[in-house]
Amino acid sequence: MLLANRKVAEFIGKRKAPLTFVYRIHDDPDEEKLLKLKSTISQFGYQLEINPKNISGALNQLLLDCNGKKEQNLIDTMTLRCMSKAEYSTKNIGHYGLAFNHYSHFTSPIRRYPDLMVHRLLQHYLEGGTAVKEDLWKKPVFIVRKENSWRPKPSEILSNLCKCFIWKIRWEWCLTVLFPVLLIEVCT
């Protein structure tokens, strides 16, 4: 699956004329967290050379050095927490965790909405379609609230919306004419 995901992203990303595409990106580790890790592991006698060109090698060596020792769980956990979270974006910065310059979720066993976008965009381009506007893929399909205080279960969304909010529904075409999406805007 990784090879397919990588090759599809390379097929689109290495074109001379740039095409909008949904990449799965993973940024470099957080430098501040790396410094905290370095400080913590020094108490156990380990060293971590924070060199942006070889941070993955240094982290791998650290994990090998502490393997099987009583502090391994702590160091493993702190090392994982240094990593940024993978996310979807039309701006390809590569995938640090996989060490790929191009990566997308083309073969995901869980059909997330961005994965469907990848399929639709790829089909559009394979059929000779032109580049779509980048900002159109980002339009929200559903907005509940900006605050995290209220997160309804999917079965409760519409009934709660009817009780609590003024809302309007409209159809829009996303990604030019690839597919219609029902947008529900919630106004508090």
Which pLDDT tens digit goes with each residue over 5-49?
A: 999 999 999 988 888 888 999 999 999 999 999 999 999 999 998
Q: What is the mean pLDDT of the chain?
A: 76
Higher-confidence residue of 20 and 134: namely 20
- pLDDT over threshold 70, residue 149: no
pLDDT of residue 136: 59
pTM for the complete prediction? 0.66
pLDDT of residue 111: 64
Please report the DSSP string for 64-133 in residue order. Answer: HHTTTSTTHHHHHHHHHHHSPPPEEESS---BTTTTBSS---SS-SS--HHHHHHHHHHHHHHTTPPPPP
- pLDDT over threshold 80, residue 138: no
pLDDT of residue 114: 75
Rg of the Cα atoms in the chain:
22
Mean pLDDT of 44-71: 92
Q: Of 91, 92, 137, whose CA–CA distance to 115 is shortest?
A: 137
pLDDT tens for 84-116 read 988 888 899 999 988 999 999 877 666 677 777
